[in-house]
């Protein structure tokens, strides 16, 4: 026994298969994304627009039904420049992950930014979606490859999250 | 010890695959129903919220975090979560009320087992060094337990078939049941063997769904002016994970929990037992010392619909429903966790 | 009112990247045995066990309390498993305390652990799911934009996070259990470390650790008889809010403010900086020190960073309100246990049993944990006196 090597690990890989379903609200949202349209859902009580929708207003705790078409323009709420790769994702560092608020929505979602100088990205910056070719569209948010800066004036911080679907004139 | 009242309970219909429905969508309807029963608006009107769920059922970490989106937790609420059946969330909530930090609590449990292969998924709940790598699933373990009971002459296959038959027949009166029908013991015995000695009917269905409950102090229940039943005792015990060290033909931890909950202090009109497999209902009935005077699993039990992480809470809710309906004065609810009834919780509910 | 309860025993493992000398059961048992020894008790003295950890996918064991019952002497006893994301270690301590504060139990054992090396934690948080683009390059990718927003608002100098990173590692060097031992760390070294998630540098982020922490919590009668000084639980609070909703204050979350106000009220604290002697606060990324200094009311909004830069939170600079004398999450981070370590380290301070990182004369201390998208909070205040 005394000559026994200590055992410091065994390989016991776990493989489990799941058939995910997206949920009713996300399913409606994804059907629209497949057509190149971004939709949010408005809370019947506080009237805030959730994007992407999950089927409830998290603040009020009530189901959200009303669908609202959003623009593919957005404002940078905040961001980070990431220097490490994402598991299972081909994107190469350094890249920008941003919290963006789409025009017509009231809270941010996470997406990538590109076609920009990383050091010039800033809070309040205006961006627009760069879509994949339409024939590659699927039920997925990465139909949008990334968002790129556009030539519009910055949004003041206290207006971020309050821009209507009509856009931002400055 | 403060008496604690149950004032509201609801369960979604148990279905084999709820389809495109996320956690929030699964939870919101049962929450709306219990809020309505208690005559309150939302989770802001209770002092504490506690839930039970298990990430591995749907295969995503932090399932319960999404659940918070159903609560309307703005302004922030006092909230906690157990990675267990929601019956234990009820237990945690009762401690909060007893210590005076809450007068009322919302409890909910949810499980969406359909995305995975439930018995296989649950095999990964076993000892990770010895048992889990063998991928022994829950049905196989239960089958070994049934084999011991049969070989020791403690039960017969007919006893098991009678449990199934009663479950199916009782479930006809339960609108939330997944499996119901006029099934005779002979019909069950005529079925082929599935995982010997179990037939498919001896095993629970895989179900999706949620349940919710509101409890409070008796004073609060009176001020809300809603009918209520009283939880007069609750206790839970776990036993060894090493199944070779346990007498699988008995449930020692259920006995201990029943003593702790004061089950023997009065008659038991109704019992709702979390027995995923038919033979386990017999083991539990004996461990709890239940006799002919007790109506066992009038809802059909979990053989009629098995909402993982919610069915334990639902057992308590079913007893509550019987008492409120005037069908029973005192009842026992049982919840379980782990392979072959490793961990058991016993709740005694009484007419107010 | 809640019954009085106190921490009468504390046990920890050492924290390190990979504890390959023990199984999961061996790890939790090590902490539990240490806590029992510290309390001068045996397994038979324990009435119930309350265990906590972060997502099961970190180890790949579903509901591991089922398997750990034997290692934790639970057979025939109640056992409970708590999971509230990153705050779980704190929440678990609170659930354990409620077992005693409710008058239901006399003495319970609570344990929190993570053995991240058993699995791939980064993978566990990034299980490929259809329908959602996976852009969270770890927790840092989530919190970095929030930190950036704090920097914009507060106009804090760029090196506040660097200072915290150095300070907590200097604290950690006093704590033999701490994972990172960097007694010679300098601000220059932190500043030159690799930028991971701008503005978070490598040395401004917590490590990934294996480890477990345990406590024995007893009622007043038993705590009065304890061999070592008890840490009396003077206040307990939890708060939760949703991850995302329109107008959510992510930098200074309402749930954190409410939770602190609740726990201070119970403990009779009016001014936390003045009334508390030290705090163990969940700071996994350096900038969360100034952010939580404000959120928890130690400094006015926008000025938390000044306390850090003045040295108020540093043991080495003789600060008046040392934060994370143990080295904090920045020095050791077994995720599921990290919150309980904060709670236990606060208790060690008021028991006068914190060794080289003892804050002299500490009588009242706070333990803090948060989790999810900075949306779940758990806090307690412990004192050398009953109150």
Model confidence at C320, pLDDT cuts 50, 70, 90, reads: very high
**Chain B residues inside the 8 Å CB shell of C220:** none
Best mutation target, A56, A59, A60, A63, to test chain B (most B CBs within 10 A): A56
Residue C116: per-residue pLDDT: 87
CA of B236: which chain C residue's CA is closest?
C78
Instruction: Identify whether A40 is part of a domain.
Output: yes
Tokens 């939890």 locate to C238
Query: What pLDDT shows up at residue C126?
Result: 56
Pairing of strands B295-296, B270-272: parallel
- Cβ-Cβ contacts under 8 Å, C28 against chain B: none
- Give the ipTM: 0.97
Cα–Cα distance between C144 and C166 in angstroms, integer?
19
Domains of chain B: 4-116+206-224 (3.40.47.10), 118-202 (no CATH), 231-351 (3.40.47.10)
Across chain A, what does the average pLDDT equal? 92
Using CB atoms within 10 A of its CB, is residue B188 exposed (0-12), middle (13-18) or buried (19+)? buried
pLDDT at C129: 57
Q: What would the pLDDT profile of C38-63 be if each residue is shown by its tens digit? A: 999 999 999 999 999 988 888 889 99
Contact (CB<8Å) C243/A26: no
* Per-residue pLDDT tens digits for A93-139: 899 999 999 999 999 999 999 999 999 999 999 999 999 999 999 99
Mean pLDDT for the stretch of residues C209-224: 98
In a domain, A148, yes or no: yes
Q: Which of C212, C218, C192, C220 is nearest to C204 (CA)?
A: C192
Contacting partners of chain C (3+ CB pairs under 8 A):
A, B
The sign of the torsion formed by the CA atoms of C58, C64, C65, C69 equals: negative
Measured CA to CA in angstroms, residue C264 lies from C276, C348, C364 at distances of 10, 19, 11
Whether the per-residue pLDDT at A59 is higher than 80: the answer is yes
In a domain, A133, yes or no: yes
Domain containing A162 equals 24-167
Nearest by CB to A80, from C198, C244, C247: name it.
Answer: C198
Examine the pLDDT at C122 and tell me if it is beyond 90. Answer: no
Given a contact cutoff of 8 angstroms between Cβ atoms, the answer to whether B240 and C75 are in contact is yes
DSSP SS3 for B12: coil
Interchain contact C1–B (C-beta under 8 A): yes
Chain A closest-CA separation from residue C144 CA (Å): 6
- Reading the block at residue B50, the tokens are 């506690």
Is residue A137 situated within a structural domain? yes
pLDDT one-digit tens code per residue, C238-249 = 999 999 998 999
Could you say which of B19, B28, B74 has the minimum Cβ distance to residue A63? B28
Query: For position C57, what pLDDT does the model report?
Result: 86
Chain B residues whose CB is inside 8 A of the C258 CB are: 75-76
Q: Where does the pLDDT of residue A90 fall: very low under 50, low under 70, confident under 90, or very high at 90 and above?
A: confident
Q: Is residue A150 part of a domain?
A: yes
Contact list, C245 vs chain A (CB under 8 Å): 48, 57-59, 107
Report helix, strand or coil for C345. Answer: helix
Query: pLDDT tens for residues B191-249?
Result: 999 999 999 999 999 999 999 999 999 999 999 999 999 999 999 999 999 999 999 99
Per-residue model confidence as pLDDT tens digits over C250-284: 999 999 999 999 999 999 999 999 999 999 999 99
Total domains present in chain A: 1
* CB-based burial label for C43 (10 Å; 0-12, 13-18, 19+): middle
Q: Which of C349, C264, C274 is nearest to C315 (CA)?
A: C349
């Amino acid at each position: 026994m005394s000559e026994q090597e200590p055992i410091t690990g065994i390989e016991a890989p776990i493989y489990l298969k799941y058939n995910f379903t997206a949920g009713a609200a996300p399913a409606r949202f994804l059907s629209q994304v497949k057509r190149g349209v971004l939709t949010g859902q408005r809370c019947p009580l506080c009237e805030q627009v959730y994007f992407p929708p999950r089927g409830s207003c998290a603040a009020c705790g009530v189901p959200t039904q009303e669908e609202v078409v959003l623009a593919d323009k957005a404002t940078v709420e905040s961001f980070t420049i990431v220097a490490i790769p994402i598991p299972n994702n081909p994107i190469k560092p350094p890249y920008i992950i941003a919290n963006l608020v789409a025009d017509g929505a009231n809270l941010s979602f996470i997406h990538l930014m590109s076609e920009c100088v990383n050091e010039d990205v800033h809070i309040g910056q205006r961006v627009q979606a760069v879509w994949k070719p339409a024939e590659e569209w699927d039920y997925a948010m990465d139909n949008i490859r990334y968002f790129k800066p556009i030539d519009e004036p910055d949004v003041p911080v206290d207006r971020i999250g309050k821009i209507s679907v009509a856009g931002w004139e400055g | 010890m403060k008496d604690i009242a149950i004032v509201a309970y609801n369960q979604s219909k148990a279905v084999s695959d709820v389809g495109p429905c996320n956690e929030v969508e699964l939870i919101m309807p049962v929450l709306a129903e219990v809020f309505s029963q208690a005559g309150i608006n939302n989770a802001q009107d209770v002092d504490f919220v506690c839930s039970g769920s298990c990430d591995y059922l749907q295969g995503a970490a932090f399932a319960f975090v999404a659940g918070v989106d159903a609560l309307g937790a703005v302004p922030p609420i006092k909230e906690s979560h157990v990675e267990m059946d929601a019956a234990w969330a009820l237990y945690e909530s009762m401690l909060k009320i007893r210590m005076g930090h809450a007068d009322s609590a919302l409890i909910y449990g949810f499980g969406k087992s359909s995305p995975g292969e439930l018995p296989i998924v649950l095999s990964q709940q076993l000892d990770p060094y010895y048992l889990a790598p063998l991928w022994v699933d829950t049905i196989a373990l239960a089958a070994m337990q049934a084999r011991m009971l049969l070989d020791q002459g403690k039960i017969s296959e007919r006893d098991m078939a009678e449990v199934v038959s009663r479950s199916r027949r009782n479930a006809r009166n339960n609108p939330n049941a997944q499996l119901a029908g006029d099934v005779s013991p002979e019909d069950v015995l005529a079925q082929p063997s599935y995982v010997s000695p179990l037939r498919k009917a001896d095993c629970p269905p895989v179900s999706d769904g949620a349940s919710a409950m509101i409890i409070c102090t008796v004073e609060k229940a009176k001020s809300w002016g809603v009918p209520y039943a009283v939880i007069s005792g609750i206790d839970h015990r776990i036993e060894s994970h090493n199944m070779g060290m346990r007498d699988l033909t008995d449930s020692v931890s259920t006995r201990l929990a029943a003593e702790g909950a004061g089950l023997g202090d009065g008659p038991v009109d109704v019992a709702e037992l979390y027995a995923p497999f038919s033979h386990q209902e017999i083991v539990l009935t004996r461990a709890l010392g239940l006799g002919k005077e007790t109506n066992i699993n009038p809802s059909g039990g979990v053989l009629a619909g098995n909402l993982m992480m919610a069915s334990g809470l639902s057992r308590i809710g079913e007893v509550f429903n019987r008492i409120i309906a005037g069908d029973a004065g005192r009842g026992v609810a049982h919840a379980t966790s782990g392979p072959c009834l490793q961990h058991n919780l016993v709740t005694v509910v009484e007419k107010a | 009112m809640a019954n009085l309860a106190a921490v009468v025993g504390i046990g920890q493992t050492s924290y390190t990247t990979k504890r390959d000398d023990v199984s999961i059961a061996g790890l939790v048992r090590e902490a539990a045995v240490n806590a029992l020894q510290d309390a001068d008790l045996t397994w038979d003295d324990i009435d119930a066990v309350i265990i906590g950890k972060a997502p099961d996918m970190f180890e790949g064991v579903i509901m591991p309390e089922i398997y750990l019952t034997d290692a934790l002497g639970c057979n025939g006893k109640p056992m409970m498993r708590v999971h509230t994301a990153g705050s779980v270690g704190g929440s678990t301590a609170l659930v354990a305390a409620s077992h005693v504060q409710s008058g239901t139990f006399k003495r319970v054992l609570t344990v929190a652990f993570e053995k991240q090396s058993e699995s791939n934690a980064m993978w566990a948080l990034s299980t490929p799911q259809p329908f959602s683009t996976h852009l969270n390059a770890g927790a840092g990718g989530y919190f970095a934009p929030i930190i950036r927003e704090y920097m914009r608002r507060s106009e804090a100098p760029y090196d506040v996070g660097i200072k915290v990173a150095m300070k907590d590692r200097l604290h950690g060097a006093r704590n033999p259990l701490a994972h990172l031992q960097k007694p010679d760390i300098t601000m220059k070294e932190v500043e030159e470390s690799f930028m991971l998630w701008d503005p978070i540098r490598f040395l401004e982020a917590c490590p990934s650790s294996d480890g477990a922490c345990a406590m024995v919590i007893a009622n007043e009668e038993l705590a009065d008889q304890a061999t070592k000084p008890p840490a009396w639980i003077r206040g307990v609070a939890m708060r939760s809010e949703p991850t995302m909703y329109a107008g959510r204050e992510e930098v200074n979350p309402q749930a954190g403010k409410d939770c602190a106000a609740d726990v201070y009220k119970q403990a009779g604290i009016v001014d936390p900086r003045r009334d508390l002697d030290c705090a163990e606060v969940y700071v996994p990324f350096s900038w969360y020190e100034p952010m939580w200094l404000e959120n928890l009311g130690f400094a006015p909004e926008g000025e938390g960073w000044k306390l850090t830069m003045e040295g108020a939170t540093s043991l080495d600079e003789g600060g008046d309100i040392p934060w994370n004398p143990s080295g904090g999450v920045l020095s050791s981070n077994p995720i599921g246990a990290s919150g309980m370590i904060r709670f236990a380290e606060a208790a060690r301070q008021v028991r006068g049993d914190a060794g080289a990182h003892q804050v002299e004369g500490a009588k009242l201390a706070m333990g803090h944990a948060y989790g999810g998208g900075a949306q779940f909070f758990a806090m307690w205040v412990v004192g050398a006196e009953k109150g």
